[in-house]
Amino acid sequence: MIFVYIGSTILVAAFGQRIHVPVARIAVYVGLALLLSVGPVLGLGSDATLNTLADAGIFVLLALGLNIVVGFAGLLDLGYAAFFAIGAYTYAMLASPQFGVHLPFWVLLFVGAALAGAFGIILGSPTLRLRGDYLAIVTLGFGEIVPQVFQNLTRFTGGPNGIAALDFPSLFGRSFGTAAFPYYEVTLGLIGVALVTARNLRSSRIGRAWMAIREDELAARHLGINTTRMKLAAFAIGAAFAGVGGVVYAAKLSLVSPDLFQFQVSILVLSMLVLGGMGNIAGVVIGSLVLTLVNQVILPQSNVLAQAAHLPVNLSNAHFFIYGGILVAIMLFRPEGLLPSAQRQAELHESVQADGV
Amino acid sequence: MHEFFAQLVNGIALGGIYALIALGYTMVYGIIELINFAHGDVYTLGSFFSLTILGALGVSGEVRGPLLIVDVGVTIIGAAMLCGIVGILIERLAYRRLRFAGRLAPLITAIGVSFILENVMQVWRGPSPVAFPAVFPTHIYNVGGVGISLLQLAVVTLAIGTMLLLEFFVHHTRFGQAMRATAQDREAATLMGIDINRTIALTFFVGSALAGLAGFVSGAYYQSTWFFNGFGAGLKAFTAAVLGGIGNLAGAMLGGFLIGIIESFATWKLGGQWSNVTVFTILVLTLVFRPAGLLGEVTPEKV
């Protein structure tokens, strides 16, 4: 029952308007939410499907978090995978035989979020005064340093091999084990929380401050917005989302290693945002679902698909090309993304016209 | 003490490669304020182009005498030209449309271009490191007890020579004047009859050609290359450009040598696995405490 509630909240939050939501629309969302949350309980969807969906869900979480930093506040963070890594290693060190510490998954969700958020503040406080492109490079540097440090501190982190045999989460004494179903439901619930959080933040005072900073930092400062504090908040909250994602990811995989958190992961999440439409919550969700589908289903199956279509191609190594192509093509031809928020679209096109004179 | 000087020589040679790449970053940033993220991959392309040209010349190992100069000269010019053309194409296809689109859109596009180039190279030359012929004779000159190879001398000479040529080019030729004018005020430059599209394209050509040159040098130096080489080297060269003061040619050179030396000593004292962390920490510290770099002037952000 709780999943129904969460699921419907997710969808209403993601797609609904704040005021005057048509009844038919609500009915569609509730129906979808029911299908997503209760369907698997009734045996809908194979384990493999749920597994893919759970992975996709983790990336939805990451994309929602990065969207707060990049989409709302306009700060390009190229080292987002670092916070994902911090969350994952939090779980790996505190729920495994590594140190003999076995804290519960549910507690570590909060610990992971808090630690990642704290690192967001630590990284952010000296760097957020930098202008956009320098900030991007500093975050990139941070994104390179963190996995490298995890790799080098072998005594604590298991070095290049990482930490394996992490505890399975459990609920009411029942272990999650290796089946995809419980992870899927947990991810779905967390996405619900994330969607509500992101949506409320966007329409709050903080959210409006972020957007003011994104559009014109100088003007925002003159309006009395404490830009440094607001940017820090965006960084910390975005990082916390990644921390939660990292905890779930580590628990689901039962393994962490430094190579899971390379630069490519940051760019993958960025491509999801760019594809769906930076700043638009529904767009971000769809962008991440589409790219995960491409990554986990279409590319691995490309040989089969190509043969079926009699095409002489094999795309199974084309990940970089696809992320890069998305970034370039969208930026050039549709900077607002596939599903833009109406406001963002207006802003982007207005600025192009204004500058083009 | 002997080890100290050996590491210093290593670092300077490594720094020469970074300096050559950093010159391209700094030129492009100087003129259109874009961090050309794909620049590191153009450098990798340079080593693959060199490999192809060397193959066509039938060079598969050490070359001696006058033939060395011919072979190396042809390879360098060929790789530099090809990379220069790639640079012009990248600017034309990916960046020109976004010249008025703010800062983030071109940067995101540049990352996209970088990923595309990496994938293309991965398909072209495979995902594993590729051997590069050791073109230069391995003779080691003994200078006061420290061994210096011909190649190390060549790297440093090339880097410093290129920087001096560029300084001359930028400050004493019409194209250089056009570049500086475009960098200062694009609109005013247009009104003065400067074709800014051509000027920017030329800047990309020169910067990318230098990356091609660096690609050859690093291939010959390490005797191997692979498609992902440009990511790390590009970041370090960018760090060098920032450390020296971005937009400043002498700064890029100084930064390149400093980063090379620092990396070399970090590898020696802390171990190879800490060298990247050290360099990126320097990047972060420079940007935080002295964003204008060592030789750069502090300029307020254009609003």
- Spell out the per-residue pLDDT of chain B, length 303, in tens: 678 888 888 899 999 999 999 998 999 988 888 889 999 999 999 999 999 999 998 888 788 878 888 889 999 999 999 999 999 999 999 999 888 877 788 888 999 999 999 999 988 888 889 999 888 887 788 877 778 888 888 888 888 998 899 989 989 999 899 999 998 888 899 999 999 999 999 999 999 999 999 999 999 888 888 888 888 888 899 989 988 888 888 899 999 999 999 999 998 888 878 888 888 888 888 888 888 888 876 554 443
Which residue range forms the structural domain that includes residue A121?
47-267
A20 and A84 housed in the same domain: no
Q: Which of A76, A325, A356 sits opposite B112 (nearest CB)?
A: A325
Q: What pLDDT does A303 receive?
A: 73
A89 and A235 housed in the same domain: yes
Whole-angstrom distance, CA of residue B118 vs CA of residue A324: 9
Q: Which of A127, A133, A325 sits opposite B116 (nearest CB)?
A: A325
Amino acid type, A117: G
In which residue ranges of chain A is pLDDT below 70? 1-22, 25, 29, 41-43, 311-314, 316, 340-357
Residue whose C-alpha is closest to residue A273's, from A71, A54, A135, A75 = A71
Smallest CA–CA distance from A274 into chain B, residue: B108
A13 and A68 housed in the same domain: no
Whole-angstrom distance, CA of residue B100 vs CA of residue B96: 9
A33 and A169 housed in the same domain: no
Query: Which residue carries 């549709």 as its tokens?
Result: A334
What is the SS3 assignment for B145? coil
Q: Which residues of A touch B274 (CB under 8 A)?
A: 152
Smallest CA–CA distance from A131 into chain B, residue: B301
Q: What pLDDT does B303 receive?
A: 39
pTM exceeds cut of 0.90: no
DSSP for residue A160: G
Residue to mutate among A75, A322, A332, with most B CBs inside 10 A, is A332
Number of domains into which chain A is organized: 2
Query: Where does residue B134 rank: exposed (0-12), middle (13-18), buried (19+ CB within 10 A)?
Result: middle
Q: What pLDDT does A349 receive?
A: 59
Residue to mutate among A138, A271, A333, with most B CBs inside 10 A, is A138
A109 and A134 housed in the same domain: yes
Other Cβ atoms within 10 Å of A160 Cβ, number:
13
Identify whether A357 is part of a domain. no
Instruction: Name the residue ranges covered by the structural domains of chain B.
Output: 2-289
Q: What pLDDT does B173 receive?
A: 92
Residue B273 distance to chain A (closest CA, Å):
7
Residue whose C-alpha is closest to residue A176's, from A50, A87, A296, A285 = A50
Identify whether A355 is part of a domain. no
Q: Which residues of A touch B119 (CB under 8 A)?
A: 317-321, 324
Query: Which residue carries 């991440």 as its tokens?
Result: A288
The CATH number of the domain covering residues in B2-289: 1.10.3470
Whole-angstrom distance, CA of residue B171 vs CA of residue B161: 16
A86 and A28 housed in the same domain: no
Identify whether A77 is part of a domain. yes
Q: What pLDDT does A313 receive?
A: 66
Identify whether A315 is part of a domain. no
Residue whose C-alpha is closest to residue A183's, from A247, A255, A259 = A247
Identify whether A4 is part of a domain. yes
Identify whether A316 is part of a domain. no
pLDDT in tens, A2-17: 555 555 555 555 555 4
A21 and A63 housed in the same domain: no
Q: What pLDDT does B51 receive?
A: 93
Query: Which residue carries 């050996």 as its tokens?
Result: B6
pLDDT in tens, B43-81: 999 999 999 999 998 888 788 878 888 889 999 999 999
Q: Which of A149, A331, A352 sits opposite B100 (nearest CB)?
A: A352
- Say if residues B130 and B51 touch (Cβ distance below 8 Å): yes
Q: Which residues of A touch B111 (CB under 8 A)?
A: 78, 267, 270, 324, 327
Please, which residues bridge with residue A147 across strands? none
B126 touches chain A (CB under 8 A): no
- Residue pairs spanning A and B at CB distance below 8 A: 131
Identify whether A281 is part of a domain. no
Q: Which residues of B touch A152 (CB under 8 A)?
A: 273-274, 277
Q: Which residues of B touch A137 (CB under 8 A)?
A: 35, 238, 242, 283, 287
Cβ-defined contact of B103 to A317 (cutoff 8 Å): no
A255 and A178 housed in the same domain: yes
B107 touches chain A (CB under 8 A): yes
Q: Which residues of B touch A268 (CB under 8 A)?
A: none
A137 and A254 housed in the same domain: yes
A92 and A12 housed in the same domain: no
- Say if residues A266 and A81 touch (Cβ distance below 8 Å): yes
- Say if residues B32 and B97 touch (Cβ distance below 8 Å): no
Residues 217..236 of B with a Cβ closer than 8 Å to A: which? 231, 235
Query: Where does residue A342 rank: exposed (0-12), middle (13-18), buried (19+ CB within 10 A)?
Result: exposed
Residues 40..99 of B with a Cβ closer than 8 Å to A: which? 94, 97-98
Q: What pLDDT does A103 receive?
A: 81
Which one of A232, A267, A302 terminates a domain? A267
Whole-angstrom distance, CA of residue A317 vs CA of residue A45: 28
Torsion sign over Cα B204, B206, B210, B215: positive
Which one of A218, A251, A267 terminates a domain? A267
Cβ-defined contact of A331 to B291 (cutoff 8 Å): no
A38 and A70 housed in the same domain: no
Identify whether A299 is part of a domain. no
Smallest CA–CA distance from B246 into chain A, residue: A134
